[in-house]
């Protein structure tokens, strides 16, 4: 168990809908990362937050947004969903020390029908 909790584990929705994925980082970790894993694109970095502030953006679509709350949990919001958004979405956390280690949650499998 990595200590990173993601909910829900599975999500099935329709095109055009909006969903929210939730992540609770390991106790004490200030940094949260979101990744998307799809068959054609592999593992893609989406966005990172550190102590409530956006730190970096990767290949995140404008239809997607995220935030990190004062209790350090994070939410990834996906809107106007398309079939191609179907993927496994991972959250990871780190302590922002010098180790560079990321600890991953078990992911949310999103299916857009």
Partner 1 sequence: AQTVTQSQPEMSVQEAETVTLSCTYDTSENNYYLFWYKQPPSRQMILVIRQEAYKQQNATENRFSVNFQKAAKSFSLKISDSQLGDTAMYFCAFMNAYNNNDMRFGAGTRLTVKP
Residue numbers of the site for partner 1 (CB under 8 A)? 2, 31, 33, 42-43, 45, 48, 55-56, 58, 88, 90, 92, 94, 96, 98-104, 106-107, 109
Nearer to partner 1, 14 or 39 (CB): 39
ω into 8 cis (within 30 of 0): yes
Between 62 and 97, CB nearer to partner 1 = 97
How many angstroms separate the Cα of 87 from the Cα of each of 3, 8, 16, 36, 70?
Answer: 22, 14, 16, 7, 28
Q: In which order are the strands placed within the sheet that holds 64-68?
A: 5-7, 19-24, 74-78, 64-68
Of 69 and 96, CB closest to partner 1: 96
CA distance 57 to 13: 26
Q: Which residue number, 61 or 88, has a Cβ lying nearer to partner 1?
A: 88
């Amino acid at each position: 168990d990595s200590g990173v909790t993601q909910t829900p584990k599975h999500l099935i929705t329709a095109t055009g809908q909006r969903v929210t994925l939730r992540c609770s980082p390991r106790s004490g970790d200030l940094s949260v990362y979101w990744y998307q894993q799809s068959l054609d694109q592999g593992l893609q970095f989406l966005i990172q937050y550190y102590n409530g502030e956006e730190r970096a953006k990767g290949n995140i679509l404008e239809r997607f947004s995220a935030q990190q709350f004062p209790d350090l949990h994070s939410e990834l919001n996906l809107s106007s969903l398309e079939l191609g958004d179907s993927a496994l979405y991972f959250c990871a956390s780190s302590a922002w020390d010098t180790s560079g280690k990321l600890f991953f949650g078990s992911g949310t499998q999103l299916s857009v029908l």
